[in-house]
Amino acid sequence: MNNVLELLPYFLLMFVRMTSFFLVAPLFSTRGLPARFKIGLAFFLTLVAFSASMEEVPILLDEYYLFLIIKELFVGVALGFTATLMLYAVQVAGAFIDFQMGFALANVMDPQTGAQVPLMGHFKYTLALLFLLIVDGHHLMLDGVMKSFQLVPVEIISFSLENGEVSEFITTLFLQMFMIAMQMALPIVGALFLVDVALGILAKTVPQLNIFAVGFPLKIFAGFIMIILAMPVFFYVLQNLFEKMIVSMSELIKLLGA
């Protein structure tokens, strides 16, 4: 019994990392999931990780324990933010498409964050979440958190942040997110740009035609047609996005635990 009580602070630190990951990670941070379910799932996953660890170190409840809690919060939020940032590339791509289709002002309320999001971005983001469940991406994210307990032990306070590796990693992550967003949006945005060129030529050749009355419905119709035609490309890029998301989580864990 005394041995269990000595290891309880170690278990609580692992629980803090798991729950902080659930605060920002895709799917797990959804407002539709009850808080009791999230806490219960985090507890049982922490119990599995704790029982699988063979190097439990008794941790004293001293003045350093608060710094360990802050460190675990940082690690969990950083892992969840890395996964979420890569997935937000879908909403950025949808913002590019909405701007070309004329839906820039037609935002909808995101029930997960409570913020205004692009119409097409929210549609594609929902498809991305469903595709993430189909390919077991949520299992891979949980596997990344489990491995973080081995590479970034909970009893160590310090990180390896020399040479600006973490800042370079974050900058590269933002760049990759926008590049993937451009790959998703480029076929549709390019086609709608050609529609704009055609409408401009038509406005010069037929001045009597009301371009504003014809152009907006035509661009919306062409946009939906291109979204349907480009759906295979979207899922192909989405698969690469999920691979990049898991790889980014692994690289962050290695940087923190180097």
- Residue 1: predicted pLDDT: 46
Contact between 209 and 202 (Cβ < 8 Å): yes
- Residue 240: predicted pLDDT: 84
- Residue 55: predicted pLDDT: 57
Q: How many CA atoms lie within 13 A of 114 on its CB side?
A: 2
Beta bridge partners of 117: 108
Structure tokens at 45: 């996953």
- Residue 160: predicted pLDDT: 58
- Residue 169: predicted pLDDT: 81
- Residue 109: predicted pLDDT: 65
Contacts of 230 (CB under 8 A, 6+ apart): 187, 188
The secondary structure of residue 159, as a DSSP letter, is -
- Residue 2: predicted pLDDT: 43
- Residue 95: predicted pLDDT: 82
Domain ranges of the chain: 78-257
- Residue 137: predicted pLDDT: 82
Pairwise CA distance, residues 212 & 207, whole Å: 12
Q: pTM to 2 decimals?
A: 0.80
Given its phi and psi angles, is residue 102 left (phi above 0), alpha (psi -120 to 50 degrees) or beta? left
Give the number of other Cβ atoms within 10 Å of residue 46's Cβ. Answer: 22
Q: In this structure, what are the phi and psi dihedrals at residue 109, rounded to the nearest 5 degrees?
A: -85, 125
Look up residue 227 and give its amino acid: I
Q: Which parts of the chain register pLDDT below 50? A: 1-2
Q: In whole angstroms, what separates CA 16 from the centre of its chain? A: 20
Closest CA to 28 of 89, 79, 93: 79
> First vs last Cα of the chain: how many Å apart?
35
Pairwise CA distance, residues 174 & 109, whole Å: 24
